[in-house]
Chains A and B, each alone.
Chain A
Amino acid sequence: MKEFLKNQKVTYNLMSFTGYKALVLFSLLAEGPKSYDEICSYFLNHPYLREKISIDTVRVYINSLKRIGCEVKRIRGEDSISRYVILSHPFELKLSPEQIQSIVKVYKSIVKNMDVTELLAMDNFFEKIGSYIKNNQFISDMKKISMLRDIDKELLKDLLDCCDKKQQIVINYSSPNTGKKDIEIIADKIDISNNKIYLYGIGFEYKQYGSFLVNRINQIKEIKLQKTIPDDLQVIRVIYELKCPPDKIELNDNEKIIEQNKNKTVIEVTTSNEFLLRQRLLEYGPLCKIIHPDEFKNKFVELLKDMKAGYYCD
């Protein structure tokens, strides 16, 4: 073997030529239909073989491949030339129903932890595996688990691209209240919330940052060449305090720390969507105190009082 590595020459002492030829023929026929002449020419030009192979020897090898479980077929093309091809072989990827069940179980355990790009990659991966094991049921089983099951993947890829470039786009959207309509937005990000996939961005209709369910987006009708931020976009700046150690804080893109010590962090957030911000601050519960502005703070306190009242009304 050392000699081979040095000069790339093979000898009968070095390797089994029969075994090697069988492997070459296997890979040739697994690749696609080959006529005897094509096989012969391949063997003749092969750097290690450099010899013709008789039709009888080819038949013997094919019989051997059949014996080990290969399905070899001879087909006659329009040119009336016979060609051999391996339709299936024992080395193909196969999955038992029990294995499929286990894969489903594993996928279920992480699917809620994945982001949209990972979900897309996983969907494509399972489609690939499904095509190799020739099992459409496998693909549909995996699709049922994925949050992308009722989403146009191509549209999602395009939306992700628009978000990367922060493009101003017009989408056609099926609103549950107003029906189909065109909405102009500056695409920001695609994210998962409440087990659903949303497109986030600044909407021109309500002049605020908003979220749109991706499965309600029918198409991207237009990608604007230039961005025009709405003049009357009402952005508010809120300052809040979080009473927890710094390592427990996860900031959003629109947030920045303005003061921090061991147990307390003061954060400034800028947003045009008060609803989304209120949801975020409510989740923190007693850990969070809004400092500024008073108007937002008072509305928040009213909301908390209404929430409390809800428990005493029932």
Chain B
Amino acid sequence: MYNKGTIIPGLIIFVLFVTFPIWFNGLKAATVPKPELPPGGEKKCVESVEYMRANHMQLLNEWRDNVLRDGNRTVVTVEGKDYRKGLQQACMQCHSNKEKFCDSCHTYAAVKPYCWDCHLSPKEAVSKEETH
């Protein structure tokens, strides 16, 4: 083998790059997040659990467009229960703890939804009210 002095370090760098997740994690798998169920004990949502786990972001996006862009605030009625379209008005009414519900999965999957650029989590809302 020729040019060992450059080729072997080069190959080591390559293998280190490819195996980045292996040595970065140190063989420790992170615990899978378990989002907190509504503290109030509600069992029904606007859609099934599977649908919400996979598609909640699309539903929220659709509601955002309905309400803010089209002015369509039609109440969603599911099995006799009315939901007003909105993160704080519908979702957070039951899933009241953002940190234990939303953030648990979002942090795990490195998702940074920009909901909170405008919205306040219930906790933040309370602290804002106190300062006024």
Partners in one complex: no
